[in-house]
A = this chain, B = another copy of it.
Amino acid sequence: MNTIKVGLIGTGYIGVVHLEILRRLGGVEVVALADPNGDLARRTAERFGVPKVYADAASLIADPEIEVVHDCAPNNAHFDINAGAIRAGKEVLSEKPLALDSGESGALVELAEKHGALTAIDFCYRYYPVVQEAAARARRGDLGVVRAFAGHFLQDWLLFETDYSWRLDPAVAGRANVVADLGSHWCDLVQFVTGQKIVEVMAELHTCVPKRFKPTGGVLSFGAGRAGETEEVDITLDDYAALFLKLENGARGNFTTCQAAAGRKVDIEIQIFGSKESYAWSHVHPNALWIGHREKANEVFYESSSLQAEGTRRYAALPTGHPMGYHDAVYNLFRDFYEAVAAKRDGKPYRANFPDFRTGHEMMRIVDAAVASDRSGRWVNV
């Protein structure tokens, strides 16, 4: 079988998730890894039987065997890697945010169009079966007109002053932390389920923990191994953000995100209120969709390969009642992407219904608008 050859850049937490999911897919093979932390890259390659390890992203991108590049590097490396891979004629699946600002992300969209690259961005939460169900119901009219929406994305891994991450450093993360890291996921869910674009933002970015102790030796994501020396640093980026949002059709929404919410882990909640019914979904119990009604009992729809709306059953792969998890959501996204990659390679038609660099750019524009709104204290167009 002529498998699709993949090179993966960045072998931290999210890089390993990509690796495991790529293994599950049929017809795909990871042939190379790259990470500035060479030891980490080598250990990961050995564990997963990946033949090649490159010292830097550019060398991996230059490998002619590689057809698809996965960009799992930190935010400030995204632009160069994504641009380089497109210019080298690769297809690209990038982690979010797509780049440091919407100038960069806009350039990437243009570049991808120019080169005809297939692109994807890992907004994976929309790939839980019942999130797909909500979107399908909205598309077929069950929701009626969307009027309002609300929710949050809460974590607690930055609760204490002793917690630190590169995401808090503007030089690496860009002009925003939590509104970019978590807010972009949530705004993608809004646009995906409602089918409407976010067009206006009023934002408040806030730093709950203005002083932190930063390890002098560098840190990984999710802050493991903080044993060594630290220095006190001033934090200027947001660890709390609140957004008023408007959709194209005038619907209003409100969103809160925080990384210092004790006890909340990857706690995403979204509620969508239409003129006919409502949807609510929580990532804490991600297989249940609440459907709200006024004139009859509310429903709780559990992921189901038999009851899901047309076109969404493939995302609930197991017999009803076998819970899907985070890995399965990422798998669903990757499968959609690689079906398109395979079809493109074979000259067949394909449907690029996964989130791509245009989606990533839309999210960057929202984040940029949020930063501008916070500075001006006023509503800002996206």
Chain A residues engaging chain B, CB cutoff 8 angstroms: 1, 3, 13, 17, 20, 23-24, 26-27, 47-49, 147-148, 150, 152, 154-157, 159-160, 202, 204, 206, 208-209, 221-222, 240, 242, 244, 252, 254-256, 258, 260-267, 271, 273-278, 283-286, 288, 290-302, 304, 307, 318-328, 377-379
Contact = CB atoms under 8 A, between A and B. Distances in A.
Contacts of A49: 1, 3, 26-27
A226 to B, nearest CB: 12
A276 B301 CA distance: 18
Given A319-B13, A323-B283, A326-B318, A294 B222 contact: no
A8 to B, nearest CB: 15
A194 to B, nearest CB: 14
A3 B48 CA distance: 11
A242 B240 contact: no
Contacts of A256: 148, 150, 254
A152 to B, nearest CB: 6
A344 to B, nearest CB: 20
Given A263-B298, A265-B321, 14 more contacts: A13-B319, A23-B23, A148-B261, A154-B271, A254-B256, A263-B278, A265-B302, A266-B320, A284-B323, A286-B323, A295-B307, A298-B302, A322-B326, A323-B326
Given A285-B285, A292-B263, A292-B264, A307 B297 contact: yes
B240 A262 contact: no
A288 to B, nearest CB: 8
Nearest to A221: B319
A160 B323 CA distance: 24
Contacts of A290: 263
B291 A208 contact: no
Contact of A244 (B204, B260, B273, B298): B204
Closest 3 interchain pairs by CB? Answer: A263-B292, A265-B321, A325-B325
Given A148-B258, A323-B283, A377-B379, A263 B293 contact: yes
B292 A262 contact: yes
A16 to B, nearest CB: 9
Given A242-B244, A263-B294, A321-B267, A24 B24 contact: yes
A300 B301 contact: no
A260 B17 CA distance: 38
B240 A263 contact: no
